[in-house]
Amino acid sequence: MTRLTSAITGYWDDAAGAFDDEPDHGLRAAGTRAAWDRLLRAWAPAGPADVLDVGCGTGSLSSLLAAAGHRVTGVDLAPRMIERARAKLAGAGLTGRFLVGDATAPPTGDERFDLVLCRHLLWTLPDPHAALRAWVARLRPGGRLLLIEGRWGEGGPYVGGAETLPWNGGVTAGDLTAAVRPLVRDLRVEPLSGDPGLWGGPVGDERYALIAEV
């Protein structure tokens, strides 16, 4: 593990305890949870699908997908995030598999998935282009890549060395489209900034979902 990756792991381990206090993280308000549930049901493939949630954090989106009947695997670098994801699904009577690991090389062997999902992860990856290639390679033919991302600008203090991250502060839909298009058969972008119900209030920055078919 590089010094930067080790710092990122420590940051998120420390953040795990309070992570769900943010409305769009914990999805504790019924309206926020329902707004994400509606979108995920629209974006996910029909029927029980094998889903890989990379950088799953405390498992909030994994939990919605498991409740919708999908078989979910979550991967996160931070062991404390994984502990919370396991507890969240178990507490809700849901089944999911959660693994500590790097999203750029998910520890899932040669398994293939129908949907690879990532929310708010690409900005903190040292090599996001390698991660995108790895995720497409994990998809079955006809599988779907769902990237929920944004460009929110450099916010508060993160970790030393964060300024070297290629997409520190987020990635615009235009830049992410340019990176993903050569890897997939088709893609579309749905803007998400205009729906305050997703975020717990109005937001002024660029947020979107990129949905790609391989």
Ligand X SMILES: C[S@@+](CC[C@H](N)C(=O)[O-])C[C@H]1O[C@@H](n2cnc3c(N)ncnc32)[C@H](O)[C@@H]1O
Q: Which residues bind ligand X (CB under 6 A)?
A: 8, 12, 25, 55-57, 60-61, 75-78, 81, 102-104, 119-121, 124-125
Shortest Å distance, C-beta 103 to ligand X: 3
Shorter beta-carbon distance to ligand X: residue 70 or 181: 70
Residue with tokens 């390679």: 137
Taking CB atoms, the residue at the shortest distance from ligand X is 57
Q: How far is the CB of 125 from ligand X (least distance, A)?
A: 6
The answer to whether 192 touches 15, Cβ cutoff 8 Å, is: no
Strand partners, 115: 51, 144
CB of 105 to ligand X, least distance (A): 9
Query: Could you give the C-alpha distances from 130 to 43, 88, 111, 136, 212, in angstroms and in order?
Result: 24, 30, 18, 10, 17
The residue among 137 and 181 lying less far from ligand X, judged by its C-beta, is 137
Q: Which is nearer to ligand X, 14 or 181 (CB)?
A: 14
Q: Could you tell me the smallest distance in angstroms from the CB atom of residue 209 to ligand X?
A: 12
Q: Confirm if 193 and 205 have CB atoms less than 8 A apart.
A: yes
The nearest distance, CB 87 to ligand X, in angstroms, is: 15
Report the residue number, 70 or 119, with the smaller CB distance to ligand X.
119
Structure tokens at 101: 């690991």
The residue among 32 and 124 lying less far from ligand X, judged by its C-beta, is 124
By C-beta, is 54 or 212 nearer to ligand X?
54
Question: How far is Cα 38 from Cα 7, in angstroms, rounded to an integer?
Answer: 35
Q: How far is the CB of 121 from ligand X (least distance, A)?
A: 5
